[in-house]
Structure 1
Amino acid sequence: MEQQNDTRSLILTTGRRLTAQQGYTGVGLSSLLKEAGVPKGSFYHYFASKEAYGCALLDEFVTQYGIVLKASLLHPDMDARARVFAYFEGWKEKQLSGNPEDRCLVVKLSAEVADLSGDMSNILQKGVSEIVTHLVQTLEQGVKDGTIAPLEDPLATAETLYHMWLGASLIASVSHSDAPFNSAMNATNMLVPAP
């Protein structure tokens, strides 16, 4: 059983790296299996199709991202407002990283898989919803603990922040510049004001 999990994990780890570099549609099964050193029959033992594999890849990413997200937004040594800014500073650093694997798969794949797979889109949407939910909770904690000025609608603020940073990531990708992130951080300062 352990070898089966190891083989499945190897396929997903290799796929994560290749997908970060080439996108979902850019990674053919042949190149994935060759890179992983896994025979084609083994792939179909774990995944019924490339779409099922894509769902597993995204599920794993969303789960791992959720762990990192909670660690960032629940950091015990920082107040709520500082946690919001640390989260987005971390976002900026990862998206500007020279290593494609550091970058967010949601950013990389959201437009690409939206029309390809309803199941993959649903997984991405679930991940986005979890991010927004954690942002809302952190914003509400900040208002309650006095580190963030009262907000009219924490949910709308969290959604605006996420959408703005997603857009900044896409524009930074096109422009090869950190300017979109600097603009997003300035806007975040206005949207999440200190008291």
Structure 2
Amino acid sequence: MLGVMNSIRLDKRDLILSKGSAVMTRRGYHGTGVLEIVQAAGIPKGSFYHYFASKEDFALQALAFIYRPRLTRYAQALNDPALSPRARILGYYRDLLAHFARQETPQYHCFIGSLSFEMSEMLPAIGAEVAAIQQASVDILRDCLEQAQAAGELPADEDCGNLATFISDAWQGVLARLKVGRNLQPLEAFVTRLERLLQA
């Protein structure tokens, strides 16, 4: 019975995180109140405070809820033993390009981007969590680049940490342009340049 109750509690918490983070992505941190979050989740307002101490606590938990699984999938893709390290990286970003190309109007809504631009300075805990997630992504990419280097797919003198940071930052810029311009040209240019970067 305890296991069933824990499952119910987790399911409701996940529902609030999922629906509430979607609202906060569209409206921003300041534009989203607890009322909007609970209305999106279809729950009483009191239920919110059963799971979250505050709106800031909700935002912190939402960051982990959304991005920890994404980091896991990223790590899995960049550690696929069936592909060479270079092929893993290029395949991952080509798949993302294909994902956006299938959309009738390419668009991207970024929860971490919305929070980092709006709240990183005002709420240091959010800034720290955003930085930790971004660094984890860079570390995953760096590890794969180092494997590519060891396999002779990158020059022996390449600084893999610097290259991983550059690629990750460039990708964030591409996503920002996609959000504004809603066309694939920046993504296509990114993939083309990435192919040239990852050459021995």
TM-score (ref. length: structure 1): 0.87
> For residues 117-166 of structure 1, what are the alpha-carbon distances to aligned partners after superposition, in whole Å with 9 as ceiling and x for unaligned?
21111111111111111111101101112233434211111111111111
- The separation in 2 between residues aligned to 1:70 and 1:15, in whole angstroms, is 27
Alignment equivalent of 1:27, drawn from 25, 29, 32:
32
- Are residues 106 and 5 of structure 1, via their aligned partners in 2, closer, same or farther at CA, if it must alter by over 3 Å? same
What runs of 5+ residues in structure 1 fail to find an aligned partner? none
Report the Cα offset of residue 179 of structure 1.
1.2
TM-score (ref. length: structure 2): 0.85
> For residues 19-41 of structure 1, what are the alpha-carbon distances to aligned partners after superposition, in whole Å with 9 as ceiling and x for unaligned?
34433333332122112121111
Q: How does 1:23-102 map to 2 (within 5 A)?
A: 23-93=28-98, 97=103
> For residues 16-70 of structure 1, what are the alpha-carbon distances to aligned partners after superposition, in whole Å with 9 as ceiling and x for unaligned?
3323443333333212211212111111111111000000000112211111111
| Aligned-partner residue type, residue 87 of structure 1 | Y
Residue 106 (structure 1) aligns with: 112
- Are residues 36 and 101 of structure 1, via their aligned partners in 2, closer, same or farther at CA, if it must alter by over 3 Å? farther
> Contact conserved, 1:23 with 1:109, CA < 8 A, in 2?
yes
> Contact conserved, 1:80 with 1:142, CA < 8 A, in 2?
yes
- Are residues 100 and 15 of structure 1, via their aligned partners in 2, closer, same or farther at CA, if it must alter by over 3 Å? farther
Residue 142 (structure 1) aligns with: 148
- The separation in 2 between residues aligned to 1:177 and 1:84, in whole angstroms, is 22
- The separation in 1 between residues aligned to 2:123 and 2:92, in whole angstroms, is 29
Residue 183 (structure 2) aligns with: 177
4+ residue runs of structure 1 moved beyond 6 angstroms?
A: 98-102
Residue 6 (structure 1) aligns with: 11
Number of equivalences = 194
Q: How does 1:118-157 map to 2 (within 5 A)?
A: 118-157=124-163
- The separation in 2 between residues aligned to 1:100 and 1:9, in whole angstroms, is 27
| Aligned-partner residue type, residue 164 of structure 1 | A
> Contact conserved, 1:95 with 1:169, CA < 8 A, in 2?
no
RMSD after superposition = 2.4
| Aligned-partner residue type, residue 162 of structure 2 | A
- The separation in 1 between residues aligned to 2:178 and 2:108, in whole angstroms, is 15
| Aligned-partner residue type, residue 165 of structure 1 | W
> Contact conserved, 1:14 with 1:35, CA < 8 A, in 2?
yes
